[in-house]
Chains A and B, each alone.
Chain A
């Protein structure tokens, strides 16, 4: 695994995972995996079911703490992240099975993404006055921009529990965007969507990447989508790294072909 693609990655390394291993009791979810994510790129993590892709995202944003290895984010090296630190340092994410605040409206859900950006005093918030009011308006404008961007104006006030799945995924993306992340982790953003919804979501992902310059790491099973969207792809199988490179390189890799298509023994 000495291949590094200087020419492909757009900039410096934003996040690096170094020889990370994670196990639950006797089950090894991730074994000695290293890869990096560079500033400005779309990085895909693929692999068969149970390969450790979601575990990897959970390690990156601090839900899981690996037993071995290091995570370097923005030049700071840690052996484990805490979710609150990851969030405040600029890592946002979505979940494989949508995790939204079901009782709250679309607007409130996305507003909750601004939690860490708000800092007016609690006293003023109670009265909706003074600095708190100005702050609320400022954040509300930002959130309205996101709502426009994701084309979900019509469902602004609807409790998200009542929305169809595809729209819920969109709201979840909106909440992550509201955090103005430097690194956006998307766990199967297109799972369970029809072709049209997939195309919409692909467009949003590309726009986020180009317009806001957000670095994106995504897990996806639809190979067409992955190969079209991503700059570089890392392939996991049984918790180990199988291949790493551009979509074309990965597609041509014999190990990857074997893993996906099976191999005659």
Chain B
């Protein structure tokens, strides 16, 4: 009975006893969730347009952030470094289209998936070669990102909001809205959705696959850069960061591989769930829940709703 009390009742009593702490935990989870959502967004973009699960998305985040910091250290002013980094991501998109996607067109998905492993290791090597393997400090002041925290007095205590976290949330929202408009309202957006459905039909109506792929991978590169800046500002920029890409998996399973809103909601659920779990239930098992709770939630979803919250339900006539 004691254990049941500790699992089912005690955590909620704690939440009620110190509501300010509860709000703080939710906020921390929210911010983590936003960053998860951004990573997942990069996956969704590429998955929608080319049907490829891009294992390299995590390393693209690291590579973009590393390039930005590296260029700054080489003496470029920060705004210029951002522009050059965007240029590098564009060149990367063109190169991937030319060297990897074009020769593998019409190959089974698993082959393309394996090719993205290749891209991952290539980018790790390239990044280390140019910028070295040591962790770097993300530039924040130079990018006009705010620093410090706002303390709000509420619920009989103080809740701390880091300004950089608020900025991250705002930027993420702006970017997501822009992408949604891009996908739904433009001719290129319609072409993207068309390519996602059938390559040969898209070709037959005059859509250029090559052009679409470059656009998509470049967009994913931009998302990667923003993610890299935000995540790098919270810890530092190192190759270890790429494992956060694995956190995108449960987010995608939750939200659905093809849904942009799904990536966002999935990211928030995982982020908040993780923090709450760690804080209130973690002590029961000696902590460390954060690293595996997300995968358990994902497993539950796979059992009951395999297409995710917002994913397209796969209906095929046979």
Residues of chain A at the chain B interface (Cβ within 8 Å): 61, 63, 83-84, 87-88, 92-93, 95, 99-104, 108, 111-113, 115-116, 118, 122, 125-128, 161-162, 164-165, 175-176, 179
Contacts of A179 in B (CB 8 A): 205-206
Quick one: which of B197, B198, B206, B317 contacts A87, CB cutoff 8 A? Answer: B206
Q: Mark B177-215, 1 if CB is under 8 A from A, else 0.
A: 000011001111011011011101111111110000000
Give Cα A220–Cα B234 distance, bound, in whole angstroms.
64
Number of interface residues, chain B, beta carbon within 8 A: 26
* Cα distance, A176 to B203, chains bound together (Å): 12
- B312 sits at the interface (CB 8 A): yes
Say yes or no: A125 contacts B186, CB within 8 Å. yes
Once bound together, how far apart are the Cα atoms of A265 and B181, in whole Å? Answer: 68
CB-CB < 8 A to A102: which residues of B?
197-198, 316
In the complex, besides A111-B190, A113-B205, A161-B315, 10 extra interface pairs with C-beta distance below 8 angstroms are A87-B206, A92-B205, A100-B198, A101-B193, A101-B202, A115-B206, A126-B186, A127-B185, A161-B317, A162-B317
Tell me which of B190, B316, B317 contacts A115 (CB under 8 A): B190
| Docked complex: B149-199 residues within 8 A CB-CB of A | 181-182, 185-188, 190-191, 193-194, 196-198
Instruction: Name A126's closest neighbour in chain B (CB-CB).
Output: B181
Main secondary structure of the interface of B (DSSP, over half): helix
Residues of B within 8 A of A101 (CB): 193-194, 197-198, 201-202
Report the 7 A-B pairs with minimum CB-CB distance, sorted nearest first: A87-B206, A101-B197, A99-B201, A125-B186, A83-B203, A116-B206, A99-B198
Distance in Å from the Cβ of A92 to the closest Cβ of chain B? 7
Chain A residues whose CB sits within 8 angstroms of the CB of B201 once the complex forms:
95, 99-101, 175
Residues of B within 8 A of A84 (CB): 203, 206-208
Smallest beta-carbon distance B11→chain A, Å? 42
How distant is the Cα of A99 from the Cα of B195 in the complex, in angstroms? Answer: 11
CB A83 to nearest CB in B, in angstroms, measures: 4
Residues of B within 8 A of A (CB): 181-182, 185-188, 190-191, 193-194, 196-198, 200-208, 312, 315-317
CA–CA, A104 to B201, complex, Å?
A: 13
Chain B residues closer than 8 Å to A112, beta-carbon distance: 190-191, 194, 202, 205, 207
Number of A-B contacts (CB under 8 A): 89
Contacts of A175 in B (CB 8 A): 201, 205
Given the contacts A112-B194, A126-B181, A83 and B204 also touching, CB distance less than 8 Å:
yes
Residue of B187, B191, B197, B207 ringed by the most chain A CB atoms within 10 A: B187
What are 19 pairs between A and B in contact, CB < 8 Å?
A: A83-B206, A84-B208, A87-B206, A103-B197, A104-B194, A112-B194, A112-B202, A112-B207, A116-B206, A125-B188, A126-B181, A126-B185, A126-B186, A127-B185, A161-B317, A162-B315, A164-B317, A175-B201, A179-B206
What's the Cα separation between A150 and B316 when bound, in Å? 24
Residues of A within 8 A of B186 (CB): 122, 125-126
**Contact (Cβ within 8 A) A99 B194:** no
**Bound-complex Cα distance A175 to B193 (A):** 15
In the assembled complex, the CB of A172 is this many whole angstroms from the nearest CB of chain B, namely: 8
Residues of A contacting B205 in the complex (Cβ-Cβ under 8 angstroms): 87, 92, 112-113, 115-116, 175, 179
Residues of A within 8 A of B185 (CB): 125-128
* B198:A126 contact, CB within 8 angstroms: no
Closest to B182 in A: A126
Q: CA A175 – CA B206 in complex, angstroms?
A: 12
Q: Evaluate whether A115 and B187 lie within 8 angstroms (CB atoms) in the complex, with A162-B315, A179-B205 already known.
A: yes
A87 to chain B, nearest CB (A): 3
Query: Which of A63, A115, A165, A176 interacts with B191 by CB under 8 Å?
Result: A115
Say which residue of A63, A92, A103, A115 sits within 8 Å of B207 (CB atoms).
A115
Residue contact A87 to B204, C-beta cutoff 8 Å: yes
The smallest C-beta distance from B196 to any residue of chain A, in angstroms, reads 7
**Are A61 and B315 CB-contacts (below 8 A) given A102-B197, A104-B197, A122-B186?**
no
Residues in B with CB closer than 8 Å to A116 are 205-206
With A122-B186, A126-B182, A164-B317 in contact, is A95–B200 under 8 Å at CB? yes
